[in-house]
Structure 1
């Protein structure tokens, strides 16, 4: 990240947060790797070196944690994109943040680091197994994060309005619920179709 100039200068908190909350602490024991024909399981205990290589690939390598119907359905996003999205979010101490797509909980823990003890982070995951994993991970990391299981397109209306909203999954249309739940002057960051994040 450093040699490629990928640490965001505008958000100097991101680098120490990523150091304090390393990827391996949020990665499940079983990952998925492309074999050339299909995704195969890589177990942390059976092949720890291969597992670690998947967790700590290059700055633009994501770590697939779940495959559904032969296609990746959840991952630890690549470090460069995570850092860039956090920078785009323009977090400040005390902010209330909503994340859509908790996965392993790492992004939410990073955001909790960014908003500090006076902030509030709520994250939503549709898959109950992943939301359980995220809940365990953020708890083990000591991060103050509320993990909900549900449909991210609906947001979290019972949890008030947010200064920042971030989706970890691509959308072609921003759900109106996200707009309604964002405070005036707030900011929404999401992957936009296949064009990158906005």
Structure 2
């Protein structure tokens, strides 16, 4: 566990060194501390070896796995490979901090997240909106949605994870005060 703690500490120090923490959103540091990345990372991550993505299993190489989870502020941890290509990740720590800062969240907000992935981003949002707010997260991949639901429930985080097409929104829980997409979109859909 010490190696994991060391990597986690080094990651936070790198965020400080790069001045990557948004200065006007102090709740983010607390949320990152309370909900560490590794708690949402699957036991298998993927690393580019120069030719292809190779698996890195937590049980087989816990230090290398921890280095991937807590790589630099501008490095994502690849969590899923499909047909040789990355299809899901724990986004870069700095990107998560920037997007959540830009979201301008407040306690009590109702939030729609498109792209659940590991559930970490949804957990950070839920941490801040608190029990008077709500988070609905839509994930197109049923396996990712199931894994995220299990992880969120295990962490005691209340997020309504739905399997579906994010471009259609989720009218069941509308209206929302904030909407965030954790995957690239060409346009904001009307829904």
Match of 1:117 among 131, 136, 155: 131
Which of the pair is proportionally richer in helix?
Answer: 2
Q: Is 1:53 matched up with 2:67?
A: yes
Give the C-alpha shift of residue 121 in structure 1: 0.5
Instruction: Give the CA RMSD over aligned residues.
Output: 0.8
1:141 lines up with 2:155 in the alignment: yes
Q: Return the structure number with greater strand share.
A: 1
Q: Kindly report which structure 2 residues correspond to 1:66-77, keeping only aligned pairs within 5 A, or say none.
A: 66-77=80-91
* Cα deviation, residue 75, structure 1: 0.1
Match of 1:192 in 2: none
For structure 1, which runs of at least 5 residues remain unmatched after alignment? 178-198
Cα distance in structure 2, aligned partners of 1:40 and 1:153: 32
**CA–CA distance in structure 2, aligned partners of residues 133 and 20 of structure 1:** 20
In structure 2, C-alpha distance between the alignment counterparts of 1:93 and 1:158, rounded to whole Å: 21
Corresponding residue of 1:171: 185
Deviations along 1:32-86, one digit per CA (max 9) or x if unpaired, are 1101001111111011111111001000010000111221110000100000000
SS of residue matched to 1:176: coil
CA shift for structure 1 position 12: 0.8
SS in 1 for 2:86: strand
- Is 37-46 or 1-10 further displaced after alignment? 1-10
Normalising by structure 1, report the TM-score. 0.88
1:46 partner SS: coil
| Number of residue pairs matched by the alignment | 177
**Aligned position for 1:33:** 47
User: 5+ unaligned residues in a row in structure 2: which ranges?
Assistant: 1-14
**CA distance, structure 2, for counterparts of residue 88 and residue 112 of structure 1:** 16
Please give the secondary structure, in 1, of the residue aligned with 2:72.
coil
Pairing 1:158–2:156 present: no
SS of corresponding position for 1:162: coil
Q: Partners of 1:174 and 1:160 in 2: how far apart?
A: 16
Query: For the residues of structure 2 that align with 1:34 and 1:68, how far apart are their CA atoms?
Result: 14
